[in-house]
Amino acid sequence: MAIESIYFYTGVLVSFILGINLGSFANVCIYRIPLNLSIVRPRSSCTRCKNMIAWYDNIPVLSYLILGGKCRHCGEKISLIYPVVEFMTAVLFVLVFFKYGFSVRSLLFWLLTFSLVVISGIDIYHRVIPDIFPLILAAAGFALCAFNPSLGGSVPTRFLNSALGILAGGGSLFIVGAVGRFIYKKEAMGGGDVKLMAGAGAILGWEKVLFAIFIASFIGSIAGFAMLIFKKTGRKEYIPFGPFLSVAAYMTLFLPEPARLINMFFNLETAALNKFIGL
């Protein structure tokens, strides 16, 4: 077997195992952090019978399938969300490996991915984004920006782009929130959303973090309109924006730079017009 094939399949396996285990840890964080509980001790237990879950019943996804989605001791149903989060995180990690291989940049993007999964889960269930994850993203993104080619060619450029990413990501949402608060006389943008994009900006850079905010706003508008149409929410109800920001931030890891996308769009438009005129 060629060296390239060994590298590829090993990378996929390592990424999947790392992702599925961190997905399991993400479930712990999503459940415990909003309750101010330790994410280390005690071991996981059944929410109904309180029996500790043995290691062989706590293998991500596999244990859920073997147990038929029920607690071994009392038969209480285990939420399907747990294996879904585990498997989804594993897939997201593998996609990062496909794009960037083994590198410090991949480690940063894996950290970003894990944080986005946890943040989304907590925001959906508790309408809050813990400060710890944006702070970790900002610190790690800026400290390791020299090893992140996505931020530019030279090291000084990468440092500048990372710093501007923090300011652009957090600052733009802060301004939107301030304007919305002035117009609507109520909170229009949560402080957690501001901190989230400041942290993400340290890793993504100013261009991509602004692009992510644009994508999130677009997706959020469509989702909000659909929820109103199908009466899943009221006009005055709060819809968490963190999950939309998280999806958009992850998407930008695989999308071209915004300037390239705009150039591609105009090239396609010009080609279409030339063809139309030619006809």
* HSE-CB for 277 with a 13 A CA cutoff: 6
Tell me the percentage of the chain whose pLDDT exceeds 70: 88
Coil, strand or helix at 70 = strand
pLDDT digits (tens, 9 = 90+) for 63-103: 999 999 998 888 889 899 999 999 999 999 999 999 999 99
Q: pTM, whole model, 2 decimals? A: 0.89
The arithmetic mean of pLDDT across residues 23-28, rounded, is 96
Query: How far apart, in Å, are the Cα atoms of 106 and each of 96, 120, 167, 182, 192?
Result: 7, 21, 23, 40, 25
Q: Which pLDDT score is estimated for 232?
A: 62
Q: Helix axis angle, 3-32 relative to 104-126, nearest 10°?
A: 30
Give yes or no for residue 278 having a pLDDT over 70: no
Among 116-120, 180-184, 197-201, the least confident range: 180-184
pLDDT digits (tens, 9 = 90+) for 102-158: 999 999 999 999 999 999 999 999 999 999 999 999 999 999 999 999 999 899 999
Q: Assess whether pLDDT exceeds 60 at residue 273.
A: no
Compute the average pLDDT of residues 226-239. 68
The more confident residue out of 130 and 224 is 130
Q: Which residue has the tokens 């090993």?
A: 10
Strand segments, DSSP code E, in 89-227 are none
Which residues have CB under 8 Å from 10's CB, separation 6+? none
Percent of the chain with pLDDT over 90: 62
CA-CA distance, 247 to 200, in Å (whole number)?
12
pLDDT for the residue numbered 13 = 95
User: What integer pLDDT is reported at residue 223 of this predicted model?
Assistant: 86
> How many C-beta atoms lie closer than 10 Å to residue 27's C-beta?
23
* Reported confidence tier of residue 45, pLDDT bands at 50, 70, 90: confident
- Cβ-Cβ contacts under 8 Å for 242 (sequence gap 6 or more): 119, 120, 122, 123, 124, 129, 190, 192, 193, 196
The encoded tokens of residue 72 equal: 């071994």
CB 121 within 8 A of CB 240: no
Residue 210 pLDDT: 94
Residue in the structure block whose two tokens are 């063809």:
275
Name the pLDDT band for 55 (thresholds 50, 70, 90): confident
How high is the mean pLDDT of the chain?
A: 88
CA dihedral angle for residue 119, residue 120, residue 122, residue 125, rounded to 10 degrees: 170
Enumerate the β-bridge partners of residue 52. Answer: 45
- pLDDT, position 279: 47
Q: Is the pLDDT score of 22 beyond 50?
A: yes
The per-residue pLDDT for 261 is 63
SS3 45: strand
